[in-house]
Structure 1
Amino acid sequence: MHPRSLDESSASQSAGSHRSVDPRKLRADDLRYLLAVARTGRLVAAADALGVDHTTVSRRVAALEKSVGVRLIERGTEGWALTDIGRAVSENADAIEEALNRVVDTVAGQDSPSLHGTVRVTAPDGFGTVFATPALVRVRRRHPRLHVELITATRQLALRPSGFDLALVIGVPSSSRLVTEHLTDYTLGLYASDDYLTRHGRPETVAELREHALIFYIESMLQVGDLDIEHHLPGVTPAFSSTNVCAQLEATHQGAGIGVLPAFLAQRAQLRRLLADEIDIRLPITLAVRREAVTHPAVGVLSAALRQEVTERAAELIPE
């Protein structure tokens, strides 16, 4: 499948917008292939989800595009994305997929419908491990035929997102291709181990932090503006840095310095909070869903499970 230029794609869509399509020439099963590409953004990932090879996915989507006479997907920097008409087609295709799943459940003798398919979730390392994982596992117990993929990384979402269905991000992403909602806030503070405080003493003021080793993200590789250390602690430069908050936690636990850590991680490691009145960073976690995945039943169930998780464990996110 070869990507066309934007002008060619737009022209073909415009030309095909008034074209009469014979529904007898459409293969409903081809719509499942379009949905898989829409949800994963990758031909190989879509093929894995469908249990076929990527050439089959390419061929079936191309056949669907030929039948309707318009371009449904286009190549972008982040993988394959739906065109505007492709998004509209995929929304209608959801109903067909669900009908097929209900048929499977009926044949299997299940009284209540079970969730099927693959859902990919992205989340920051710490939050994804401590909060997203329990919520996703709980859903999987109820729906064993559902495949859940969790990708953890503290990064911004691309303006043209692909490769995920549901994302948990620090801050508020702005993209017309995302449906977002505020999920929760969480607190970051300064933490140190007893061993570190015994060897180096306890800072009593923010100014004294300059005399201590700080542990935080690698500034040059940090992609989340809300985590800019200069904004929260001007003039303080980390002595130990990592792109992974779990590595930061372990370094703090090992006495390498004072960590700027989420309370929900630091308290589990029994670290000591420092300068709590002066340094209390509050950041939002946003739940973002790609528009083409909003109607996916599993995405709705997983979103509800995440809301329940943060509601029941709110005291860990913002401790007294």
Structure 2
Amino acid sequence: MFDWNDLRYLLALAQHGSTLAAGRALRVDPSTVQRRVAELERRIGQSLVQRETAGYRLTEFGQALLPHARQVAQAVEALEQHLESARREAVGVIRVTCPEPLVSRLAASGLLDRFHARYPGLHVEFVMSDRYLDLAKGEIDVALRSGDTVDGALIGRKIGDSLWAVYASRAYVALHGQPRSVDELARHALVGFDAAMSGHRAAVWLRSVAPAARMAARNDSVLGVLQSVKAGVGIAPLPTAIADAEQELVRVLGPVPELARIWRILTTAELRRTPRVAAFFDFVVEEIDALRPVLTG
């Protein structure tokens, strides 16, 4: 199979008759035109152009291929016009829910700036929550969510991995030492979630491995747990993405396999078809490589 983009070089060479003029029209070096046409010939297995004193002319096979190449170019141009029209139509607000610590990391990464530069008519509005908001009820448009997804009505795509480890402050370690295994967690003061977050996987895991441990503090958010651990109140499992970036913290155990989950971007089938949500969803998928360190650390 050949690269469809190479047809552009063949069409330019056929129109202008020389690699210099074709390169000028395409804003590339003449050698690039020659190389891409040669690669197209190699892939197809036929000669398409013949070099002469006055420039290049198409071979008989090249002439036969020319109308088909023009049809492809017209189809690509129509597609680009359609996409540009869709971009102009993509206006409004996209309500995105995600854990609060993720927002500052997204802002610092430049991802949101690139999105708004591409779609100036769109505005991302974050609805920050450590609990799951209901997409089907219209509370939000898109969710950036880690964990198990049991709602079959949602459309999703994996965008990264959520890793958790156990952390303590340097001051806490200096005073109380650190656990060398999960079994030793019960000997330390722990920081966890309150009743509103009792179903969170970190809370469930702590209850299973250290049911008799002393809880030094309970919080209703991951950021609250982070601040308590930084203050030296106790130790706790935290996402590696945010905890590894804190100079005051030390990773004492993990990552913990039982706490690992998949990060997904989620929306409903109906919203996925709207221009504004489709623009954001497709942009996030396109930027997965840049997004991965934001999510995982």
Alignment TM class, shorter chain as reference: 0.5 to 0.7
- The reply on whether 1:260 has 2:237 as its aligned counterpart is yes
Q: What's 1:250 paired with?
A: 227
Q: CA deviation at 1:128?
A: 3.9
- The reply on whether 1:126 has 2:109 as its aligned counterpart is no
| 1:113-142 superposed Cα distances (whole Å, 9 cap, x missing partner) | 373111111112223442378533431233
CA distance in 2, matches of 1:187, 1:175: 22
Identity over aligned residues, as a percent?
Answer: 26
> Which region of structure 1 is more displaced relative to structure 2, 191-200 or 275-284?
275-284
Task: Say if 2:183 and 2:210, in contact at 8 Å, map to a contact too.
Answer: no
Query: Quick one: structure 1 residues 310 and 133, their matched pair in 2 at CA, closer, same or farther if it must change by over 3 Å?
Result: farther
CA distance in 2, matches of 1:303, 1:283: 20
Q: What's 1:281 paired with?
A: 259
Q: CA deviation at 1:222?
A: 1.6
RMSD, aligned α-carbons: 3.1
Task: Say if 1:226 and 1:283, in contact at 8 Å, map to a contact too.
Answer: no
5 Å-filtered alignment, 1:1-320, equals 113=88, 115-131=90-106, 134=109, 135-158=111-134, 160-218=136-194, 220-222=195-197, 224-227=199-202, 228-230=204-206, 233-235=209-211, 236=213, 238-270=215-247, 271-276=249-254, 281-312=259-290, 314-315=292-293, 317-318=295-296
TM-score for both structures, normalised by structure 1: 0.57
CA distance in 2, matches of 1:254, 1:191: 12
Unaligned runs of 5+ in 1: 1-98, 106-111
Task: Say if 2:135 and 2:142, in contact at 8 Å, map to a contact too.
Answer: no
Task: Say if 1:189 and 1:261, in contact at 8 Å, map to a contact too.
Answer: yes
Task: Say if 1:155 and 1:224, in contact at 8 Å, map to a contact too.
Answer: no
Query: Quick one: structure 1 residues 176 and 206, their matched pair in 2 at CA, closer, same or farther if it must change by over 3 Å?
Result: closer
TM-score for both structures, normalised by structure 2: 0.61
Q: CA deviation at 1:267?
A: 1.2
1:248 aligned counterpart, secondary structure: helix
Q: What's 2:45 paired with?
A: none
Q: CA deviation at 1:187?
A: 0.7
Q: CA deviation at 1:173?
A: 2.5
Task: Say if 2:146 and 2:162, in contact at 8 Å, map to a contact too.
Answer: no
Q: Structure 1 counterpart of 2:92, which letter? A: G
CA distance in 1, matches of 2:160, 2:255: 21
Q: What's 1:74 paired with?
A: none
| Higher-Rg member (1/2) | 2
CA distance in 2, matches of 1:281, 1:243: 18
1:239 aligned counterpart, secondary structure: strand
1:140 aligned counterpart, secondary structure: helix
2:237 aligned counterpart, secondary structure: strand
Unaligned runs of 5+ in 2: 1-81
Q: Structure 1 counterpart of 2:271, which letter? A: A
Q: CA deviation at 1:263?
A: 0.6
CA distance in 1, matches of 2:227, 2:150: 33
Q: CA deviation at 1:163?
A: 1.9
CA distance in 2, matches of 1:123, 1:178: 16
Runs of at least 4 residues off by over 6 Å:
277-280
1:303 aligned counterpart, secondary structure: helix
